[in-house]
Structure 1
């Protein structure tokens, strides 16, 4: 692993002009179905109206010059040296450059890229997937490489696995690229087949509550959970079965094998099996306009994440417990990898301000830490366009 020294932004780094390529790369929510993408299950994500903005311009060299306003960090990356580095966010850039370089037959050329916008890192909104997919989509558009959306999704996943060390599934990247306005994606992570589900929540709205407890998935229990699921599946198949994914295992099969599966692995497997069924039930509830059932499934999902998958924390549990006592909140659950980040809540639109006020006060009093509410709307996936004159 090499070490690159971050440099001062050079005087000749470009200032965006009308006509430059701009890529809007959204964050994502997941209504239900956490930790199922790497277990071959169904998930129900959507792109949201909070996004990164990446502005590109060719520079006719072999150097990629990237400045992130959020990190106040500038780096130069040679296309002749795409080895990982010791610092964090640069590995995402290097990783996607390496994947693009492998994908195309033409010589990849350098560019300048300015990254700005607000997607909080560690909040469970998939800022990493937005960055990776936004970079890949922008490079593809800038140089007319003809890379398909599916390839961009899989390249972004591989870059995060190989360069950032997070053994993620494919849900985040899929939602960021394929999201549609006012629609959720019922994604089968085994086959990547998907169904667009209209998100009709009125008179309720989606509200995220950011605990401001940050996580770094590669340093947390995320990769351990994936390993535990793989081990559980291996034991199940050693008993004469041949399941490809843990989500394929019937609950009866798991219960009949309790004597050979360690208790902790039983809990992980049971969560996956039950959560996959909850996603399918949530899809039916949405199609039938049954928001009460949808909310109940969200609470059940959080219980499973807390009690069987053990990826919640005190801050998340307090927020969900507070929501569950409020009759104008239909459902709530932790969202993302766990150990911090956000809860997602389905709150009556006329009750938003009061709910935020009360839950923020309770959170501050309990943890001596502010709570950050984030109202979200479901929006399109990645979009490329020419930068408009803002003057």
Structure 2
């Protein structure tokens, strides 16, 4: 079973200010455009990649709104695929999906930052890491790495050293293990 390493970039973010509300508005606008192409789309979670392609082809969804919608819908697809790969124990597939997720959050949703990208790149190039991505709301915060247990301390050492060299800031790392989610307990 793999483990998770969390790395805190120590870049502070305030999600209620700045870019985050803009992303919310852009997603609402993209939903409105998609609902004109497919009446069943009431939220981006209702849209498919085919809906996005159709809206783009018709010119109803272009530019930044197309990229925002593409990120959200493709992220939903990746999440379902990752859950399936997780159940099958296919860590390589889960890792590749995590890497694609980060790229989409960086390029299509534009919620990453240089410090996060450095942590992700260092991890993605470290032997024993299946995948790495930003986690949380973006604009700073943490990355998460799915990796082989025996490589964790080496990765943490690498991140501690290289991140400070590249950014002038220390990162904080910790190891955790994935477990089953919360369950109801009868008392």
Task: Please report the TM-score for the alignment, with normalisation by the length of structure 2.
Answer: 0.90
Distance 1:236 1:375, change over 3 A: same
**Cα deviation 1:254-273 (Å, max 9, x = unaligned):** 11222122310000001111
After superposition, where does 1:50-89 map in structure 2 within 5 Å?
Answer: none
Q: 2:174: which partner in 1?
A: 374
Q: 2:23: which partner in 1?
A: 225
How many residues align? The count is: 181
**Cα deviation 1:57-84 (Å, max 9, x = unaligned):** xxxxxxxxxxxxxxxxxxxxxxxxxxxx
Q: 1:252: which partner in 2?
A: 50
1:234 to 32, 52, 62: 32
1:282 to 62, 69, 82: 82
After superposition, where does 1:1-391 map in structure 2 within 5 Å?
Answer: 202=1, 204-239=2-37, 241-258=39-56, 259-378=59-178
Structure 1, unmatched stretches of 5+, are 1-201, 383-391
Distance 1:284 1:239 in 2: 30
Distance 2:61 2:36 in 1: 11
Distance 2:15 2:138 in 1: 8
Moved over 2 A (4+): 238-242, 376-382
Distance 2:54 2:127 in 1: 39
**Cα deviation 1:325-362 (Å, max 9, x = unaligned):** 12210111000000110000012211111111112111
Structure 2, unmatched stretches of 5+, are none
Instruction: Give the CA deviation at 1:240.
Output: 5.4
Give the aligned CA root-mean-square deviation in angstroms.
1.8
Instruction: Give the CA deviation at 1:287.
Output: 1.3
Distance 1:279 1:360 in 2: 29
Distance 1:352 1:245, change over 3 A: same
Task: Please report the TM-score for the alignment, with normalisation by the length of structure 1.
Answer: 0.44
- Larger Rg, first or second structure (1 or 2): 1
Higher helix proportion (structure 1 or 2): 2
Distance 2:109 2:76 in 1: 13
* Greater relative CO, 1 or 2 (CA 8 Å, sep 6+): 2
Distance 2:10 2:135 in 1: 13
